[in-house]
Amino acid sequence: MLNKDHVAIIISASALFIAVINFFLNQRSARRAKIKNNSEETQKAYAEWFGMDFYRLRRSYEIAISKVKNNDEWKTKKLEEMVQGKDLESIKEVHYFFDRIGWLSNAGLIDTNFILCPMKLWVVNTWIDLKPIIYQKRSTDPIHGLGHEQLAIYAESAKFKKIFFKFWKQN
């Protein structure tokens, strides 16, 4: 049998439950609004990726990384010992681009799904190529390449794959 105290407790618990659900829904919509408001940053990163300068950089990266991977000691030596000049710069710039995109997406400043659709394979493959070298560098700089790593992990996640295939079915 319910008395006034039980009814008051049930009403209070229900009100609290509704308030918590409302809070989480507002947080989610606020994050989406933040991304929509920052779509300019997303467009800038997208334009940079498809720009002619970055196209040339990606091509020189492919040439440079093939030189590095042909070296038997590429997982133990430092990158600077194996590659010099423009090759070294192209490898670093591609890595730093993905690291920057990873940090921006972790902060919710760009739309990660929109960005990753055209560059998913590049993110994952560059992470696989550079992972041993980045882990070596982390002994002195603990957050080196963390944005790139997070972006690669998300690109390989089931959540992104579901979004990716849904996007391609629509288009």
Query: Per residue in 47-92, pLDDT tens?
Result: 888 888 888 988 888 888 887 777 666 666 677 677 778 888 888 8
Number of domains in the chain: 2
- In this structure, the answer to whether residues 43 and 106 fall within a common structural domain is yes
- In this structure, the answer to whether residues 62 and 107 fall within a common structural domain is yes
* Torsion sign (Cα): 131, 135, 141, 146: positive
Cα of 90 vs its chain's centroid, Å? 20
- In this structure, the answer to whether residues 30 and 44 fall within a common structural domain is no
The pLDDT tens digits of the residues spanning 114-168 come to 888 888 888 988 988 888 888 888 888 888 888 999 999 888 886 666 666 665 5
- In this structure, the answer to whether residues 27 and 52 fall within a common structural domain is no
Which three-class secondary structure string do you get for 55-109?
HHHHHHHHHHHHHHHHCCCCCCCCHHHHCCHHHHHHHHHHHHHHHHHHHHHHCCC
- In this structure, the answer to whether residues 156 and 76 fall within a common structural domain is yes
Q: Which domain holds residue 3?
A: 1-37
